[in-house]
Structure formats: C-alpha cells, structure tokens
Amino acid sequence: MRATTIHAPFDIRLSEVPDPVIEAPTDAVVKIVAGCICGSDLWPYRGENKITPGSRIGHEYVGIVQEVGADVRTVRPGDFVVTPFVASDGTCPNCLAGFQSACQNLVGIGSDQADGGQGEFAKVPMADGTLVATPGVPDDALVPSLLTLSDVMGTGWHAARSARVKAGDTVVVVGDGAVGLCGVLAASRMGAERVLALSRHESRQEIARQFGATHIIAERGEEAKAAVLELTAGVGADAVLECVGTDQSFSTAFDVARPGSTVGFVGVPHGVELPLRRMFRTNVGLAGGMAPARQYLPELMADVLSGAINPGLVFDAELPLEDVAEGYKMMHERRAIKVLLRP
C-alpha cells in the first residue's frame, strides 16, 4: 500500500510500504476513508523536531474496519470508525479515569508501533480501547467533521473543558489554528455567552464567527489584553483557552484571565516560562495538556451526527493522497488552515 513518509525537512513522499496485517489478537486493520495534516506535523516538516528518515507521519484518520483480531469485541469489519491520535488500552486506571492520552500502554498513531493516517490502510493496536464506531456508515458529507474528532475537535474541546467553561461565561480563545477554532466551537457549544477569538487572519475570523465567536480581537500582546479588559469591565475573562504553545501566547492567556479562573492549555509548550508568582497572586490556574480525544469521542460524535456541531469547516482544502507533499506546503505557507487527504 501507499503511505506518507518523511525523509528530511520539507521532504514528504508518498511511498510504497508493507500492507498492515493483524498481529496481536487486539489489532484491527482499517481502510482509510480520509486523513489529514496536523499543525504538529509541521514541526518535523520544518525541521524543528528530529526526523528519522523514511519514518511514517500523520495521526488523524477515519475509515472502515477491514479485519479484526480474535479478541476485538467492540468493532467489526464494515464499521466506520474514528481513530484518536493515540491508541489506548481502555482498561488501565488512567483510561478508566478518562485520561486515555496518559494510558499506561499508550501507543502513538503514526509511530513505529501504529500506522499513520496519511495512507491507504492502518493497523490499530488495542482496537477496543481506541476505536469508536458510528451507528451506521455516515453520509460522506459528515466525514470531515468526524475526522476532526480524531484530534483537533477533541483537543479544542479539551481546552474548553480544562478551562472549565460554563454557560454564561465570557471566554477568550488564544490561537486561530484549527485547534483554536475548534476551541471557539467548544466554548460556544458549552453555552459561553461571549467568545472572544484572537485572530488576525480574515479566513480564520470567518470560521471563528461561524463557530460562535461573538468578538474578533485582531490585536496582539498588550493591545489584545487591553481589548479584553475593556470588554470585561477590567476584570478579565471567565475562562481562557491557550491553543498555541508559545511564551507569548501563554503570556497573553494569563494577561486576560480573571482572578480565580483557569487557563486551559492544549498547545504543546515551546520555550514557555509560566508567571508563577502572578498565578499565585491572582489565583489563575493552569490545566490541560494532551487531549484525551477518546474520552470525548462518543459525546462529540453524537453532536456531529445530530448536526449540533460542524467542526469539519476547519478543512479549507481537500487533496488526493498523491498530493500530500503539496498539502504540507500549503499549510506551511499558510495557504490552508487544514488539509484533508483522500486516499
């Protein structure tokens, strides 16, 4: 089969690789219907993360189960499934507590141990603990939204949950990438009265509005802080979603959080120094991390199937799998927010 491999910075190829086969009795093999490129795939692409030449890449996909091992109970051939970006056993204490992303037997998708999502087929380890099937094979129009549940929508949802968004809140979302936009959608879906999206890109502002942003703040740094404080009578936001991961974005997040609130963070932190003394003084907490996408899948899947949310709008480009290298280029050059790939 064909799958995406990375060989050096900016060197993405569609390569011939062995077909996946069931090895453990808990494995499943899935025929990929759609995969996509994640913002975090751009780190190795840009050479910011170490690359093992020829390694597989991509960790988001949906597909149809082809074959399952003898011990798999919850999915069967023909099921349409969403695969979260990490595989989890579903039975360890961390999984049982809903933190499948800290599973004691965690396996990253798109790693040595589990095929990536930018290919034709994928073997999924610990299928029962990992995959969630739709009630029937969904309409093709729902595929983009279902695909977001493998990562970005679950991650945006986690930011909002971690920030303890509740009905009536004023929420600030820092970051207008696919995750930040999904954070806007999550906050809105959780009943936030005002959702303030920090964004200076018109195409992203437009999606933010469609996702429920009531205010767009195009300023940055001190000016963004001033804008939020003006909108909140000088108090700050009830909840803040940090969806970037840089020192500046964290700083802005704490700048606009009201005393006693929580910054929910899901951007992998890069070079961040937390303002701990200030957190002490203002009682602004920090919660979040790698999203337990698996935890949220049943709930968010129901919302997608009912039409309550349409996170698939974050995909503003769709390419055939052959053009995967072009997809990376588009995202790197910010010509696309998020690229969907069809094998």
Residues in contact with its own copies by CB under 8 A are: 93-94, 97-99, 101-102, 104, 162, 233-235, 258-260, 262, 265, 268-269, 272, 274, 276-277, 279-290, 292
- Min dist CB 299 to its own copies, Å, is 17
d(CA 60, CA 62): 7
E strands along the chain, which residues? 2-8, 11-16, 28-36, 55-56, 61-68, 80-83, 86-87, 107-108, 121-124, 132-133, 170-174, 194-198, 215-217, 237-242, 257-265, 285-288, 317-320, 339-342
End-to-end CA distance of the chain: 10
Three-class DSSP category at 46: coil
- Max CA distance (Å), the chain: 61
Sign of CA pseudo-dihedral 163, 168, 169, 173: positive
- Min dist CB 108 to its own copies, Å, is 12
Our CB check for its own copies shows the closer of 279 and 305 to be 279
Q: Is 153 exposed, middle or buried (0-12, 13-18, 19+ CB in 10 A)?
A: buried
d(CA 250, CA 263): 9
- Min dist CB 43 to its own copies, Å, is 14
**Closest C-alpha among 242, 261, 260, 262 to residue 252:** 242
Our CB check for its own copies shows the closer of 25 and 93 to be 93
- Min dist CB 8 to its own copies, Å, is 26
Our CB check for its own copies shows the closer of 69 and 285 to be 285
- Min dist CB 276 to its own copies, Å, is 5
- Min dist CB 272 to its own copies, Å, is 6
Our CB check for its own copies shows the closer of 265 and 328 to be 265
Output phi, psi for 322, to 5 deg.
-55, -30
Our CB check for its own copies shows the closer of 69 and 289 to be 289
Our CB check for its own copies shows the closer of 20 and 236 to be 236
Our CB check for its own copies shows the closer of 108 and 320 to be 108
Our CB check for its own copies shows the closer of 106 and 331 to be 106
User: Which pair of structure tokens corresponds to residue 99?
Assistant: 């933190």
- Min dist CB 247 to its own copies, Å, is 11
- Min dist CB 286 to its own copies, Å, is 5
Give the strand pairing for 237-242 and 257-265. Answer: parallel
Under DSSP, the state recorded for 119 is B
